[in-house]
Amino acid sequence: MIGIKRSDQLGDIYSEEYLDFFKQTSIGIQLESIPKKVVYFTNHRSIKEAKTKPFKTEVVENPRYTIYVDTEKKYFEKLSTALTKNEFVYSPYLGHAYCPASIFDVIELDAKVVDFKDVYTKCVVLDESETIDPNFILKMISKDESSLMIERHIHHFFNDEKFDGRVLKHWIPINNSIYKIERESPRKLSKFYKIGEHSVCMY
């Protein structure tokens, strides 16, 4: 949205500015809508004549999220200006360019890092076990009638100054569910920030 290009060089996927922005920025996500997936099949993937068998495509119907962003000052000012004025270098979208996104209710918050003890959250929690730390422990307890999804996605991060990516589990509370982090190991890739009554996992 603020015009940070990936790369203009052949063979390089990410530019130095893109990598610096990535290193200085973390996000937290809270799902605000009930997930509804739509599946359809099409062989029209471009303007060219279709010559392949139908391709399965999945999209989420009318998703809504609260997205928390923490970044360093120079990027924060650019992002804040773009969001408040609703002026973007590249239009926001969700996953694919044919899924445009609308952004509203932009506010600035004060938050501080907290320990996992007595943390209650409604947000996506990054599970740093498996491909990162086999000894990592995460135990979440539901409050009242709660429900969640567990999905695996590639999480990109810097490993000793090297840009890396691993498939990690993401615990996603749904239906406004609240979960308590009862037990977990020290985190390497994420932190919890206290915002209001609940905490947000930023990664």
Using one digit for the tens of pLDDT, what is the confidence trace for 141-193? Answer: 887 778 888 999 999 999 888 899 999 999 999 988 999 888 778 888 999 99
Q: Domain residues for 134?
A: 112-202
> Residue 8: inside a domain, yes or no?
no
For the chain, what is the mean pLDDT? 87
User: How many CB atoms are located within 10 Å of the residue 154 CB?
Assistant: 8
Q: Would you report the helix, strand and coil content of the chain in percent, each value rounded to 5?
A: 10, 40, 50
Q: How far apart are CA 43 and CA 126, in angstroms?
A: 35
> Residue 158: inside a domain, yes or no?
yes
- Helix-then-strand count for the chain, H and E: 2, 13
Q: For residue 10, name the pLDDT band (cuts at 50, 70, 90).
A: low
> Residue 146: inside a domain, yes or no?
yes
User: How many CB atoms are located within 10 Å of the residue 63 CB?
Assistant: 17
pLDDT, mean of residues 26-45: 86
Tens-digit pLDDT profile for residues 40-68: 887 665 556 656 677 788 888 889 999 99
Report the number of distinct structural domains present in the chain. Answer: 1
What distance lies between CA 102 and its chain's CA centroid? Answer: 16
> Residue 169: inside a domain, yes or no?
yes
Residue, of 42 and 111, whose pLDDT is higher: 111
> Residue 137: inside a domain, yes or no?
yes
Residue, of 36 and 55, whose pLDDT is higher: 36
Half-sphere exposure of 143 (CA within 13 A, CB side): 16
